[in-house]
Amino acid sequence: MTSARTIPSLVTLALALATPAGAGGQSNAGALSDAAGSSALREPPVLENLSSEPGVVEVRLVAAPATLAYGPGGATRVLAFNGSVPGPTLEAREGDRVVVRFRNELDEPTTIHWHGIHLPFEADGSPFHPVGPGEEHVYAFTVPPGTAGTYWYHPHPHHRTTHQVSHGLFGALIVRAADDPLAGMPERLLVLHDNRFDETGAIDVPERRSLQARIDDENGREGDVLFVNSQVGPVIDIRPGEAQRWRIVNASAARVYRLGIPGSTMVHVGSDGGLFERPTEVEEVIVANSERVEVVVRGGAAGGEEATLQALPYDRYIPQTRPRDWDTPRDLLTLRTAGEPLADPVRVPEILREVAPLDPGSASAARLVVLTQGMINNRKMDMARVDITAPLGATEVWEIENLVGMDHPFHLHGFRFQVIDRNGVAVPFRSWKDTVNVPKHERVRIIVRYEDFAGKWMFHCHILNHEDMGMMGVLEIT
C-alpha cells in the first residue's frame, strides 16, 4: 500500500458513555475513544441475543436521553439507543426470526425503521406506527433468504427524523449468510456520521427561520465534525498482505461521502442489499446518506506503512448554499500496516454470488417520479393520501427524475430494487438496492417487485430535512 501522511487529531475527543437507567445492560465499550489524539477504531457493542431457541434473535432496545463526552465541549446531551452512539449492532442470519422489544424513554413519539429490510408493513417503523413516550412496542420479522448484507436502523417519526438521528439515534444491522464467500476475512464496521456543535459544545440545533435553519432545510443538515463510530480520526491496524472487509454505513443526515485512499485502490464487493456477483477494483466509491457499501482493503507490503481514508470533494449542493469548504478533502481514519505478514490471507473470489435479474419486460406499469425541492410529483407528504397503488406481486419500473440543482437520494421502504440505467445508459452490473442517489438534473430507472407484504410504504428523499418537510409519498400495495 502506498505510504500516506498520518491523520492529525481533528478534535480531542472522549466518548465515555453514561448508560441511562434501564438501557438494557449493553456494554458501551464499542463507543469509547481515547481523550488524547487518534486511537484504535472501536466498534459499537453487539446486542445480546436473549433467546436460547435456535433461529430466533431476541433483543432489547431503549431510546433515551444520555450524557456523554461527545465533540469538543465535554459532556453533551444526546439521544441514544441503549446508551450508545452509534447504537448497538443487531446481528442476525438469513432465516432468523428477529424479535425486538423496544421501549421509548424519550419525551416525544418515535419509531425504529429497519432500513432496507424486507418485512411486514406493521414492523417497518414508518410514521404510520408511532411509539409514544413511555410506551413499549415489539418489532417482529423474519429475515428472508438471499438478503445477507449491511443494513441499519433509525427513527422515522413524522417531521422529527432529522432531530432524533442528528442527536444520536442510529445503529447498524448485519445479516449473515451460511455460505458467505468472504467468511474468515477480518471485518470492520464503519458507521460514518457528522455533527455540528454550538459554542457551549452542545449539539447545534438552529432556531427555526434562522439563516442556518434555512440553509439546513435547503442543503440538509451537515456538521463540520466527521465521525467514524463516534471517533474522530481513529486508526485501523492491518497486517502486511492482509485483506479486510469493511462494512460502511452512511448514517449522516445529508452528507454524501466520496471515499478514497489516495495512492491505493479498494475492491468494491457489495452495496445496500449485500454482495455483488463479481468484485470490482475501484479508486473511490460514493456513498450517499443512508446507503451502505462493502469494500475490501489490503495491507501494505511491510510494517510501518500508513494510508488515509478520505472523504473526497463531492458537489451535491445548490450553488447558492454550497459550503465554502466543500472542495476540501477530509481525513476520516488512518490505515496502519503493522505486525507480521499473514501466511495465507483470505482472498476475494472471482464470483461472489448470483444476483437474479428482474426483467423489465415483465413489468405491469412504468411510473414517473419527479423530484423537486421539497416535493415529489409536485406534492408534499399527506399521511391521509395514497400517492401510488399497486397489486401485491406486481413488477414495476420507476423512472426517477431530479429537476433541481442538487442531489436527492431516493429511498423505497419494504422492497429492494435493481437500478436499470442512469440517463439512459445501462449500469455496468446488477445489485440489490433500497436507496439510489439521483444527481442534479439526472434520471435513474429502477425495477422493483412487490413481494410478500401488502400495506402502506413510504418513498422519499433521504436527506432528512427534506423528508421532514414533506418530500415523501405513500405507496399502497393491495
> Which of 243 and 346 is assigned the larger pLDDT?
243
Task: Compute the average pLDDT of residues 357-375.
Answer: 97
The confidence score (pLDDT) of residue 7 equals 27
Give DSSP secondary structure letters for 323-347.
Answer: -TTTTS-EEEEEEEE-SSPPSS---
Q: Backbone dihedral region of 463: left (phi > 0), alpha (psi from -120 to 50 degrees) or beta? A: beta
Over residues 64-76, the mean pLDDT reads 85
Per-residue pLDDT band at 342 (split at 50, 70, 90): confident
Work out whether the CA dihedral 218, 383, 116, 62 comes out positive or negative. positive
**Number of Cβ within a 10 Å radius of residue 245:** 22
Q: For residue 333, count CB atoms less than 10 angstroms from its CB and return exposed for 0-12, middle for 13-18, buried for 19 or more.
A: buried
| CATH homologous superfamily for the domain 360-477 | Cupredoxins -  blue copper proteins (2.60.40.420)
The string of pLDDT tens digits covering residues 137-163 is 999 999 999 999 999 999 999 999 999
pLDDT at 71 (0 to 100):
77
In this predicted structure, the answer to whether residue 1 has a pLDDT above a threshold of 90 is no
What are the strands of the beta sheet with 443-449, ordered from one edge? 375-376, 365-372, 395-402, 443-449, 417-422, 425-426
CATH topology of domain 187-337: Immunoglobulin-like (2.60.40)
Residue spans of the domains in the chain: they are: 29-176, 187-337, 360-477
Q: Which residues are within 8 A (CB) of 261 and not within 5 positions of it... i.e. 6 or more apart?
A: 1, 4, 297, 307, 308, 309, 310, 335
**pLDDT value, residue 279:** 98
Answer for the pair 309, 254: CB distance below 8 angstroms, yes or no.
no
What is residue 343's predicted lDDT score, i.e. its pLDDT? Answer: 80
pLDDT at 303: 86
| Residue 183: CB atoms within 10 Å | 11
Does residue 32 surpass a pLDDT of 70? no
* Alpha carbon of residue 394 to chain centroid: 28
CA atoms within 13 A on the CB side of 116: 28
Residue 2 confidence (pLDDT): 36
Mean pLDDT taken over the chain: 91
Name which residue leads in pLDDT, 8 or 99. Answer: 99
What is the per-residue pLDDT for 21?
A: 30
Q: Is the pLDDT of residue 26 over 50?
A: no
Using an 8 Å Cβ cutoff, are 469 and 166 in contact? no
pLDDT value at 187 more than 60: yes
Q: pLDDT-based confidence at 167, cuts 50/70/90?
A: very high
The percentage of residues in the chain with a pLDDT greater than 90, rounded to a whole number, is 86
CB within 8 Å of 428: residues ≥ 6 apart: none
Distances (CA, A) of 388 to 6, 30, 347: 51, 42, 45
Residues of the chain with pLDDT > 70, as a percent, come to 92
Is the pLDDT at 309 greater than 60? The verdict is yes
pLDDT for the residue 28: 26
- For 3, the grid coordinates are 505510504
Supply 287's cell numbers: 456513498
Q: Give the global pTM.
A: 0.91
Cα–Cα distance between 370 and 376 in angstroms, integer?
6
Report whether pLDDT(34) > 60. Answer: no
The lowest-confidence range among 24-28, 52-56, 179-183 is 24-28
Q: For residue 102, give the nearest of 79, 126, 78, 133 by alpha carbon.
A: 133
Please state, in angstroms and rounded to a whole number, the distance separating the CA atoms of residues 459 and 476. Answer: 11
pLDDT at 5: 29
| H or E segment and range at residue 465 | helix 464-469
pLDDT for 344 equals: 84
In angstroms, how far is CA 6 from the centroid of its own chain?
27
Q: Which helix (H) or strand (E) holds 236?
A: strand 235-238
Residues 358/449, Cβ–Cβ less than 8 Å: yes
Is-contact 405 318, C-beta < 8 A? yes
CA angle 458, 311, 75 (to 5 degrees): 80
- pLDDT (mean) for 290-302: 94
pLDDT at 18 over 50: no
Closest-CA residue to 192 (of 270, 111, 254) = 254
Assess contact for 4 and 85: CB atoms under 8 A.
Answer: no
Tell whether the model's pLDDT for residue 223 goes beyond 70: yes
Contact predicate 211/152, CB 8 Å:
no
The string of DSSP codes covering 155-209 is: ---TTTHHHHHHTT--EEEEEE-TT-TTTTS-EEEEEEEEE-B-TTSSBP-PPTT
CA of 295: how far to CAs of 89, 168, 193, 348, in Å? 19, 25, 18, 11
Query: Residue range 194-206: average pLDDT?
Result: 93
Other CB atoms within 10 A of residue 98 CB: 25
Query: For residue range 399-443, what is the model confidence (pLDDT) as tens digits?
Result: 999 999 999 999 999 999 999 999 999 999 999 999 999 999 999
**Residue (of 365, 105, 118, 325) closest to 226 by Cα position:** 325
CATH architecture of 29-176: Sandwich (2.60)
Q: What is the DSSP string of 106-128?
A: SSS-B--EEET----GGGS--TT
pLDDT tens figures, 227-272: 999 999 999 999 999 999 999 999 999 999 999 999 999 999 999 9
Provide the pLDDT for residue 70: 84
